[in-house]
Structure 1
């Protein structure tokens, strides 16, 4: 079976996933009294594994909570050599191009991969191996920071699958890559 790479992420109106200081606090600007997960739990149940960048991995560790993922996590990094003992069976450090990592994931039997982290997503898009994206837009303008999208050499066309509005403020759109 073919491996598919998926993105589930939130951005500001101007397309940033973190502010100029690397903070993601803007994600909390809309009160969520119902504690909605914005479809995340349904999404993650369909995933076999997560590929995330080093920066995202380090951000998750800074949350000060127990490890939040129940599926294998592969961290793309040339700087990190190993992980703490408590994460040894949950996290694996990988290196290589997105195509090489996807091939390794396919060989290991993973079919639905959650790609997370700005630079990692950009690299996967540059190699045109993102199949679906769910993007939630938070109604704030950051004016700079970490952009979700980087420069591409070719136009990548996606088709709209669905849209949903949460808390009368957050717009979530699901796209599929046109092939």
Structure 2
């Protein structure tokens, strides 16, 4: 059976995941007041974390004490990151190779992280659920969570909740 993938991410109310310069302080500073928004419980449900290159660079820059992935398989989709860049990760050059390796590993539940990577997963029809924590801020410009699509992606709202700190958490299932 193919793996399932769930997006778990924070956005501004106007749909951005980072400022144009990749800054996410607007999210992290507000997130501190809200707690982990259920992230660590979610992370316990996944057996693989896949990141885009920019997200990997950001996460790696947080330091070893903030590498929360334990012994889960961690992959980075990148055409430029050296294969031996980090012993904790597997570097994938393309989506087909990534999907084939996850299937070969018997991966059950994937956490894709990073705007362009999530967009690639959406276009490939590999996302089953979205958990989007909306921060109480408009930032006006930056990197959008969603990009252009070839066709609509119909969603079913599973829940909308006040999760503290002014955040609303929206949970959607992709309807097939």
By the TM > 0.5 criterion, same fold?
Answer: yes
Mapped to 1, the partners of 2:28 and 2:110 lie a distance apart of 26
Q: Are the structure 2 counterparts of residues 29 and 36 from structure 1 closer, same or farther at C-alpha, using a change threshold of 3 Å?
A: closer
Q: Are the structure 2 counterparts of residues 172 and 31 from structure 1 closer, same or farther at C-alpha, using a change threshold of 3 Å?
A: closer
Mapped to 1, the partners of 2:57 and 2:31 lie a distance apart of 26
Q: Which of residues 147, 164, 174 in structure 2 aligns to 1:150?
A: 147
Mapped to 1, the partners of 2:165 and 2:39 lie a distance apart of 18
Number of residues of Structure 1 aligned to a counterpart in Structure 2? 174
- The residue that corresponds to 2:125 in the other structure is 128
Structure 1 portions without partners, runs of 5+: none
Q: Are the structure 2 counterparts of residues 13 and 31 from structure 1 closer, same or farther at C-alpha, using a change threshold of 3 Å?
A: closer
Question: Could you list the per-position Cα deviations for residues 94-146 of structure 1 after superposition, in whole angstroms to 9, with x for gaps in the alignment?
Answer: 1212x542232012110100000001001111222111110000011111101
Mapped to 1, the partners of 2:105 and 2:53 lie a distance apart of 22
What are the residue-to-residue correspondences of 1:10-159 with 2, within 5 Å? 10-30=10-30, 32-33=32-33, 36-66=35-65, 67-70=67-70, 71-84=72-85, 87-88=86-87, 90-97=88-95, 99-159=96-156
Q: Are the structure 2 counterparts of residues 109 and 30 from structure 1 closer, same or farther at C-alpha, using a change threshold of 3 Å?
A: same
SS in 1 for 2:100: helix
* Runs of 4+ more than 3 Å apart: none
Mapped to 2, the partners of 1:30 and 1:93 lie a distance apart of 32
TM-score by length of 1: 0.90
| Contact 1:10 1:17 (C-alpha < 8 Å) held by counterparts | yes
Structure 2 portions without partners, runs of 5+: none
Question: Could you list the per-position Cα deviations for residues 150-170 of structure 1 after superposition, in whole angstroms to 9, with x for gaps in the alignment?
Answer: 000100001111222122510
